């Protein structure tokens, strides 16, 4: 089997969104994970996501069929040898990402664009384990990838202009607006949103207001499309906590110290939409269960 021009590594929520976005634009993409079973599970997640869009008249069955035909599941990292663009979307753990980038450096051709979809980890720290630090760049897409029009393009300390231009062209293919970010922990979006989410959790933990009223206050008072607690549930509470911990480690600022309530919920496996329970409860399709606000124990 010939390698597609684009490969997404990591078939979790972000990897699924990236693969769907790429395939939607008419390009074949390989969705790769540690095992074929995990990659196929990611394909199933994309299928279910598109089924929900079909129910909302956002897609047709023929649209779905065409998009799904362009996504190939795999667990064979050696397929990266002829790939032109690789975007990594594995868990936000430095050592995992460094190990992957070290492997990719030995497999990929010299002109391959290697991208990390990290939200908090240093692009330079990933690049230093390769022999091509100038060819490594960050592109922080937001969830859901198919709907959020923004991507942050993060230059590592050694990223060259040619690599940046390739990343801009890739963003354009996906129909994304981009901002340029000079590497710094948390970049722009994560650094700003994390303290807001953390403070909303503290307000809830301290019994100042209910989860529903905290979200209503921010939506009606400040024009947010979605409240901070619902946003955290959508992102995944484990993901939000990993961002906080990475920023706390990098910057040693207390505002990034995860709220005790968040720690408690993650330990209990209440991770938000993906588990059906977070600050609110959700049905199997990810819709918030109305008039049945889950009371988060303090």
pLDDT in tens, 76-93: 999 999 899 999 999 988
CA distance 43 to 163: 29
pLDDT of residue 52: 87
Extended beta strands in 90-248, E state:
113-116, 136-141, 150-155, 177-182
Q: Please write the tens of the pLDDT for every residue from 173-201.
A: 999 999 999 988 889 999 999 999 999 99
Please, which pLDDT band fits residue 285 given cuts at 50, 70 and 90?
A: confident
Residue 119 has what pLDDT? 87
Average pLDDT over residues 105-110: 95
Q: Fold for domain 6-182?
A: Rossmann fold (3.40.50)
Mean pLDDT of 262-283: 95
Question: For the whole model, what pTM was predicted?
Answer: 0.87
The rounded Cα 296 to chain-centroid distance in angstroms is 26
Fold assignment, 192-275: 1.10.1040
- When pLDDT is cut at 50, 70 and 90, the band that residue 3 belongs to is low
Ranges in the chain annotated CATH 1.10.1040.10: 192-275
Which pLDDT belongs to residue 291? 61
> Could you tell me the two tokens for 177?
């607006």
pLDDT recorded at residue 2: 56
| pLDDT tens by residue, 65-77 | 999 999 999 999 9
Phi, psi of 13 (to 5 degrees): -60, -50
Instruction: Give ranges for CATH 3.40.50.720 in the chain.
Output: 6-182
């Amino acid at each position: 089997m010939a390698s597609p021009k684009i490969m997404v590594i990591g078939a979790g929520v972000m990897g699924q969104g990236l693969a769907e976005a790429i395939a939607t634009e008419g390009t074949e993409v390989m969705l790769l994970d540690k095992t074929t079973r995990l990659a196929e599970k990611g394909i199933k997640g994309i299928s279910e996501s598109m089924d929900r869009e079909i129910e909302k008249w956002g897609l047709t069955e023929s649209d779905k069929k065409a998009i799904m035909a362009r996504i190939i599941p795999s667990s064979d990292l050696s397929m990266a040898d002829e790939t032109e663009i690789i975007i990594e979307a594995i868990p936000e753990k430095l050592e995992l990402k460094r190990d992957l980038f070290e492997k990719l450096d030995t497999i990929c051709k010299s002109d391959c664009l290697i991208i990390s979809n990290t939200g908090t980890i240093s692009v330079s720290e990933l690049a230093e384990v390769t022999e091509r630090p100038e060819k490594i760049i960050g592109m922080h897409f937001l969830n859901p990838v198919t709907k959020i029009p923004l991507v942050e393009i993060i230059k590592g300390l050694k990223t060259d202009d040619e690599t940046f231009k390739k990343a801009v062209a890739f963003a354009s293919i996906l129909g994304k607006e981009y901002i340029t970010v000079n590497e710094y922990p948390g970049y722009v979006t994560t650094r700003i949103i994390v303290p807001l989410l953390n403070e909303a959790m503290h307000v809830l933990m301290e019994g100042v207001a209910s989860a529903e009223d905290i979200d209503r206050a921010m939506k009606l008072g400040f024009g947010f499309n979605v409240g901070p607690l619902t946003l955290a549930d959508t992102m995944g509470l484990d993901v939000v906590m990993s961002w906080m911990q990475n920023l706390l480690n990098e910057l040693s600022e207390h505002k990034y110290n995860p709220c005790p309530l968040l720690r408690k919920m993650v330990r209990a496996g209440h991770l938000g939409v993906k588990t059906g329970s977070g600050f609110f409860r959700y049905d199997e399709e990810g819709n918030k269960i109305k008039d049945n606000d889950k009371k988060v124990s303090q």
